[in-house]
């Protein structure tokens, strides 16, 4: 909703809905064009918000559901809400000799949304993550538990992806801070598994 507001209000200021005088300069036409694009995208965001979507990169997701979109589902994470829950999950994975991937996520984090929309939906990424325990710390609320999780790993916020080996220890050299496209992320996963 806020993204839509940030696009629509400046579009109106740029006179996107006002008619242009006949002898308008090129600059005035350019600003009106930019205003029209901002207004259109802002309206798409409003429509998506009213449909229940919360991803500004895909405002009309689910509008015309078909098989291609159904196949584009991302990976499913198990949420951990506290340090003790995380440690229990890592201990369980250690017992099963599995690698753990911990994703720090927040609803307001645009790079997190990009990872969710473009990287985690890639079939090759899904295949590379087979057998990996997928955990996610949703720190949207910025609670005391969220702050404790961030402090434990010396992070200031999302996006961050951490990997823990089969010994239960973090592979700090392979931390992913910020957005990575699918191709780069697969290379990171190959290094983690080697």
Q: Give pLDDT tens digits along the chain (194 positions).
A: 788 888 888 888 888 888 888 888 888 889 899 989 999 998 888 888 887 777 777 777 766 654 444 445 778 899 998 999 999 998 998 888 888 999 999 988 988 888 888 899 999 999 989 889 999 999 988 889 889 989 999 998 898 999 998 888 888 888 999 999 999 999 988 888 77
Three-state SS for 120?
Answer: coil
Q: Find out whether 53 and 61 touch, Cβ atoms under 8 Å.
A: yes
Three-state SS for 188?
Answer: helix
| Whole-number Å distance between alpha carbons of 157 and 69 | 30
Q: Give residue 184's pLDDT.
A: 92
Q: Give residue 71's pLDDT.
A: 46
Q: Give residue 67's pLDDT.
A: 42
Cut 0.85: pTM above it: no
| Whole-number Å distance between alpha carbons of 182 and 186 | 6
Q: How far apart are the first and last CA of the chain?
A: 43
Three-state SS for 162?
Answer: strand
| Whole-number Å distance between alpha carbons of 34 and 27 | 11
**Count of Cβ atoms closer than 10 Å to residue 84 Cβ:** 11
| Whole-number Å distance between alpha carbons of 121 and 146 | 26
Which parts of 25-122 fold into alpha helices (H)? 26-50, 67-70, 83-95, 110-114
Q: Give residue 163's pLDDT.
A: 92
Q: Find out whether 110 and 56 touch, Cβ atoms under 8 Å.
A: yes
Which parts of the chain fold into alpha helices (H)? 2-13, 26-50, 67-70, 83-95, 110-114, 123-128, 144-152, 182-193
Q: Give residue 17's pLDDT.
A: 87
């Amino acid at each position: 909703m806020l993204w839509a507001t940030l696009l629509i209000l400046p579009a109106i200021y740029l006179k996107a809905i006002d008619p242009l005088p006949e002898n308008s300069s090129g600059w005035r036409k350019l600003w009106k064009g930019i205003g029209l694009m901002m207004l259109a995208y802002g309206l798409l965001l409003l429509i998506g918000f009213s449909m229940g979507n919360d991803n500004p990169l895909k405002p009309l997701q689910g509008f015309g559901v078909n098989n291609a979109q159904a196949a584009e589902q991302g990976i499913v994470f198990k949420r951990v809400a506290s340090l003790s829950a995380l440690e229990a999950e890592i201990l369980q994975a250690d017992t099963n000799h599995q690698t753990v991937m911990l994703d720090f996520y927040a609803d307001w984090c645009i790079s997190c949304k990009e990872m969710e929309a473009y990287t985690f939906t890639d079939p090759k990424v899904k295949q590379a993550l087979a057998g990996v325990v997928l955990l996610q710390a949703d720190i949207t609320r910025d609670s005391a538990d969220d702050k404790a999780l961030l402090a434990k790993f010396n992070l200031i916020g999302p996006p961050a992806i951490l990997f823990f080996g089969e010994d239960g220890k973090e592979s700090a050299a392979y931390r992913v801070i910020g957005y990575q496209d699918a191709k780069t992320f697969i290379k990171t996963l190959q290094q983690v598994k080697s």
